[in-house]
Amino acid sequence: MKNYYKYLIPYILLILISCSGGGGENSAYQYHTPDEIEIFLDEIQSHYSNIAKVESIGTSESGREIKALIISDNPENLEGEPAIRLTGGIHGNEKMSVELLLRFIEYLTSNYNRNTEVTDIVNSKYICIIPVLNPDGLADNSRYNSNGVDLNRNFNATGSSLQSETKALQDYSLSRKFNLSVTYHTGAVLVNMPFDYGSEIIDGTAPVENNLVKSFALAYTTGTGSKFLDNPEVYTRVYNSIYGDYISLDRGTINGGDWYVINGSLQDWSYTQTGCLDLTIEITKRNPDTESDVEQIFMYNRDSLIAYINKAEEGIYGRVTDANGYPVEDAAITASLGATAGDLIIKTDHNGYYNRILLPGTYNVTFSKSGYTTQTENDINFSGRSVLNVQL
């Protein structure tokens, strides 16, 4: 993260020098510890307080704080702009997933008011970055949390089986009403799409809005400036043991269950329970060993992530109010294409704002909440970013 240092005053450099990954570009890379990440996030907030704010989303099973960094032109408040969540380190031994997000934080903050594209993104989005969801696993170089639980199999758990880290992210996400997200992993190079809990090719399990999902996944792998497919390790096919054959990927993308079926993944929970499209993105087969390799993996993904974030503006947005003009929180919004109701069900935030990603087309959009009369706006044609305010 050496580029970050030129923007810091000398005493901060002394604090963070141990986090830099060593000397030359081919020296052994030193991955950041949970404590170093906390220092980094706090210093980012201190020096970019106009666009950056650190928030605690909860604690791990062993009591480590899980922190998020909000990057926006007004990080104190949701203002109706698209809300994007980026998560790393759900598996603690997949360290490159953490480093990528630390470098993306550096890139956005250090280039604000220097780079037009970055400035526009920060001014028009609410970006929440959680570099490490599993700090205990990161500290122990373990896939699992301190209870030996795989957090990416825990999002459908209940009662005492639900881990602190999982509940923290669930509660935080439900309060923020994110409409687009990414969860980073290592172990392969591909974009894994909902759903994980079943296979499209074997039993037909797929989102109703699979075309929308695929459009956003391809924005990551082939969008403007994307270098994801430049990585020579990108998977072109995977083996499905149940199907008994290899499955070809579409430009680096695959429905999760066509690779292998799991239950309780973050991306499935996000889609089905919050109306937030979450992609599981595998960025490298293994944690790289050198500074230059870490930087290369970041560069394969940086512009892909920007293209994906910018796509969050495709669809409808607006505000839902009551007869007196007061915001209606938790109003559900469903978009139907013809007779087919979409399965991304989003809700308004505490200010009544919503953002609903959509492909261009003509939709019937229904707004509902208990205690109010359900309202449907019929045959509304949308292309690009369109506003639709509703009074219940």
pLDDT of residue 221: 98
Q: Are residues 261 and 378 in the same domain?
A: no
Rounded CA separation 360/379 (Å): 12
Domain range holding 268?
Answer: 2-313
Q: Are residues 344 and 228 in the same domain?
A: no
pLDDT of residue 384: 85
Q: Residue 369: which CATH number? A: 2.60.40.1120
Q: Are residues 34 and 62 in the same domain?
A: yes
Q: Helix H segments across the chain?
A: 2-5, 10-16, 34-47, 96-111, 116-124, 135-140, 164-176, 200-203, 210-222, 256-259, 266-269, 291-310
Q: Are residues 286 and 328 in the same domain?
A: no
20 has a pLDDT exceeding 50:
no
Rounded CA separation 81/351 (Å): 12
Q: Are residues 333 and 296 in the same domain?
A: no
Q: Quickly state the pLDDT bin for 28 (edges 50, 70, 90).
A: confident
Q: Are residues 294 and 323 in the same domain?
A: no
Query: Tens digit of pLDDT for each residue in 52-67?
Result: 999 999 999 999 999 9
Query: Please, which residues have CB within 8 angstroms of residue 98's CB and are 6 or more apart in sequence?
Result: 31, 32, 37, 88, 89, 131, 132, 138
3-state secondary structure of 279: strand
Q: Are residues 278 and 242 in the same domain?
A: yes
**Terminus-to-terminus CA distance in the chain, angstroms?**
49
Residue 325, CA atoms < 13 Å, CB-side half-sphere: 0
Rounded CA separation 253/189 (Å): 10
Mean pLDDT, the chain, whole residue set: 93
Detail the DSSP E strand segments found in the chain.
Answer: 52-59, 65-71, 83-87, 126-130, 180-185, 188-193, 237-240, 245-248, 253-255, 277-284, 315-321, 332-337, 340-341, 346-347, 353-357, 361-368, 375-382, 385-387, 390-391
Rounded CA separation 18/37 (Å): 11
Q: Are residues 117 and 185 in the same domain?
A: yes
Query: Tens digit of pLDDT for each residue in 203-246?
Result: 999 999 999 999 999 999 999 999 999 999 999 999 999 999 99
The proportion of the chain whose per-residue pLDDT surpasses 70, expressed as a percent, equals 93
End of a domain among 259, 284, 313?
313
Rg, C-alpha atoms of the chain:
21
CA distances to 144, 328, 367, 375 from 348, in Å? 34, 7, 10, 15
C-beta of residue 192 within 8 angstroms of C-beta of residue 279: yes
CB neighbour burial string for 169-188, b if at least 16 within 10 angstroms, e if fewer: bbebbeebbbbbbbbbbbbb
Look up residue 274 and give its DSSP letter: I
β-bridge mates for residue 185, sequence order: 282
Q: Are residues 302 and 365 in the same domain?
A: no
Q: Are residues 226 and 347 in the same domain?
A: no
Q: Are residues 324 and 294 in the same domain?
A: no
Rounded CA separation 42/56 (Å): 11
CA distances to 198, 264, 267, 368 from 237, in Å? 18, 24, 21, 42
pLDDT of residue 25: 64
Q: Residue 68: which CATH number? A: 3.40.630.10
Model pTM score: 0.94
3-state secondary structure of 373: coil
Query: How, if at all, do strands 277-284 and 315-321 pair?
Result: unpaired
Rounded CA separation 174/154 (Å): 17
Longest Cα separation, the chain: 64
Rounded CA separation 274/292 (Å): 38
The answer, yes or no, to whether the previous bond of 178 is cis (omega within 30 of 0) is: no
Q: Quickly state the pLDDT bin for 96 (edges 50, 70, 90).
A: very high
Q: Are residues 343 and 209 in the same domain?
A: no
Rounded CA separation 279/192 (Å): 6
End of a domain among 276, 296, 313?
313
6 has a pLDDT exceeding 50:
no
Query: Please, which residues have CB within 8 angstroms of residue 343's CB and are 6 or more apart in sequence?
Result: 207, 208, 209, 271, 272
Average pLDDT over residues 14-39: 70
Q: How many domains are there within the chain?
A: 2
Average pLDDT over residues 308-315: 96
Q: Quickly state the pLDDT bin for 15 (edges 50, 70, 90).
A: very low
Rounded CA separation 240/146 (Å): 31
Q: Which of 17-26, 99-108, 174-183, 366-375 has the lowest mean pLDDT?
A: 17-26
The proportion of the chain whose per-residue pLDDT surpasses 90, expressed as a percent, equals 90
End of a domain among 278, 313, 348?
313
3-state secondary structure of 5: helix
